[in-house]
Chains A and B, each alone.
Chain A
Amino acid sequence: MDHRNTEEAALVRRVQARDEIAFREIVERYQAKVFSIIYGILRNHNDAEDIAQQVFSKIYFSIKNFDFRSSLLTWIYKITVNECYDYLRKKRVRKLVYESDFSEEDAQRMQNTDTAIDQAPAVDTTLAQRDLAVKLLAKLSAEDRSLLLLKEVEGHSVEELSQMTGMNENTIKVKLFRARQKLMKAAQRLMRGSGQPVA
Chain B
Amino acid sequence: MHQPIRDNLEEFLKGPAPGIPNEFHEHLQACGDCAQELHLYQEHAELLRSLHADIEPRAGFYARVMDRIEQQDRNSVWSVLLQPAFGRRLAVASAALVLLLGTYLVTTEPGEPDYAAVPDVLMTSAPPAVSTSALPDTLQQQRARDAVLVNLAAFRQ
Q: Choose, from B6-14, B94-102, B103-111, B121-129, the stretch at the interface.
A: B6-14
Q: At the interface, yes or no: B22 with Cβ under 8 Å from chain A?
A: no
Q: At the interface, yes or no: B44 with Cβ under 8 Å from chain A?
A: yes
A52 touches B68 (CB 8 A): no
In this complex, the interface size class of chain A, counting residues with CB under 8 Å from chain B, is 35 or more
Given A36-B54, A36-B56, 18 additional A-B pairs, CB 8 A: A27-B65, A36-B52, A48-B55, A49-B57, A49-B58, A53-B61, A53-B68, A54-B68, A60-B65, A136-B44, A136-B47, A157-B14, A158-B10, A173-B7, A173-B10, A177-B6, A180-B41, A180-B44
Which residues on the A side are within 8 Å of B53 (C-beta)?
A: 36, 39-40, 43
Q: Measured between alpha carbons, how far is A45 from B13 in the docked complex, in Å? A: 30
Interface of A is mostly: helix
Q: Measured between alpha carbons, how far is A4 from B54 in the docked complex, in Å? A: 30
A153 touches B48 (CB 8 A): yes
User: Which of chain B's residues 1-56 have a Cβ closer than 8 Å to chain A?
Assistant: 1, 6-7, 9-10, 13-14, 37, 40-41, 43-45, 47-56
Which residues on the B side are within 8 Å of A54 (C-beta)?
A: 68
Closest chain B residue, CB of each to CB of A173: B10
B-contacting residues of A (Cβ < 8 Å)? 24, 27-28, 31-32, 35-36, 39-41, 43, 45, 48-49, 52-54, 56-57, 60-61, 126, 129-130, 132-134, 136-137, 148-149, 151-155, 157-158, 173, 176-177, 180, 183-184, 187, 199
B62 touches A28 (CB 8 A): yes
Q: At the interface, yes or no: B69 with Cβ under 8 Å from chain A?
A: yes
Distance in Å: Cβ of B148 to nearest Cβ of chain A: 73
A61 touches B72 (CB 8 A): yes
Closest chain B residue, CB of each to CB of A27: B62
B47 touches A133 (CB 8 A): yes
A57 touches B56 (CB 8 A): no
B64 touches A53 (CB 8 A): yes
B65 touches A57 (CB 8 A): yes
Closest chain B residue, CB of each to CB of A157: B14
Q: Nearest 10 CB-CB pairs, A to B?
A: A152-B48, A40-B51, A40-B53, A39-B53, A56-B65, A129-B50, A133-B47, A36-B53, A32-B56, A53-B68
Q: Measured between alpha carbons, how far is A69 from B60 in the docked complex, in Å? A: 32
Q: Measured between alpha carbons, how far is A57 from B69 in the docked complex, in Å? A: 5
User: Which of chain B's residues 77-91 have a Cβ closer than 8 Å to chain A?
Assistant: none
B45 touches A152 (CB 8 A): yes
